[in-house]
Amino acid sequence: MLAPRDGGIYLDGTFGGGGYSAALLAAARCTIWAIDRDPAAIVRGAALAAQYPDRLHLIEGRFGDLLDLLKAAGVSALDGAVFDFGVSSYQIDDPARGFSFRGDGPLDMRMGSTGETAAQIVNTRGEAELADILYQFGEERASRRIAAAIVARRATQAFETTADLAAVIRTVVRPDKSGIHPATRSFQALRIEVNQELAEIERGLAQAASLLAPGGRLVAVSFHSLEDRMVKRFMQAASGRTAGPSRHDPSSILPTALADFKPLTKGVITPGDAEVAANPRARSARLRAIERVAA
């Protein structure tokens, strides 16, 4: 979808393990500016950057600040940008980062090294606010009962570990036939709140799109409905596919502005059986892409 070309300048907005950057660098003699808020990702990327001197540039920071980050680096236009939203495999597989209930670790969940931790949120936020977080960001139907259980438990002992929180959630949400762990939605919600992920996505998409040159492409991969909904709405609006005004609305007589982008995907692209078999974590991936057609 990115169709990298020699001499092009591309943004890897979620560097992670460097897979996207490596593929782009191998596909064309292009330049990559890669952003990640996780200091560990930047350290890991040093080896790849050494393989491509002057072609791969690593920047520590939030992709929601990419305009300022790239401006400071002297970058004013892009030929393509890619985002792979959500937590990285490196983060979720390290118990010390506190993202997963499958291995006990500190209740942290920060993608970067600063800010409020998940432990601070569950130990200090009010019951109603906790319930709202779990419902809005985790789409957890038992949000109120979980929030009540959290508040009751922390009255006698603060939460410190992922296993501790997961155990309390399991007293409220029982396993069902879906096979989804009872704590899955709650942990997703807390992670999103800790890292302000949805606000970052909104800012990152808009800023990346604003830097694309004519013919430049924006590709986004999402992993749950909240992310994909934001990407879908943004790309629909950018390509002029939002619903028009009613014919009874006076604004309907005004000329329609030409869209700056065109869609590259009809609906959403999902992984095939072979990809899911090779990489089970790809099973919920959703890809959408647009291309700038006007300056």
Strands 9-12 and 78-84: what pairing? Answer: parallel
Going by C-beta distance under 8 Å and a sequence separation of 6 or more, which residues neighbour residue 166? 101, 181, 182, 183, 187
Which residues make up each annotated binding site?
Answer: 18-20, 36, 63, 84, 91
**Nearest in space to 24 (alpha carbons), one of 34, 37, 35, 38:** 34
Annotated binding site for S-adenosyl-L-methionine: 18-20, 36, 63, 84, 91
Residue 158: alpha-carbon gap to chain centroid? 29
146 contacts 140 by C-beta, under 8 angstroms? yes
Torsion of CA 75, 292, 203, 66, to 10 degrees: -10
CB atoms within 10 A of CB 276: 15
How many Å apart are CA 230 and CA 202, to the nearest integer?
A: 7
Q: How many Cβ atoms sit within 10 Å of the Cβ of residue 244? A: 11
Q: Name the H helices within the chain.
A: 19-27, 39-51, 66-72, 89-92, 118-124, 127-138, 143-154, 162-170, 184-195, 197-211, 225-238, 273-278
Q: Is residue 224 within 8 Å of 140, Cβ to Cβ?
A: no
Max Cα distance, the chain (Å): 64
Rounded to an integer, what distance in angstroms lies between the CA atom of residue 239 and that of residue 259?
Answer: 5
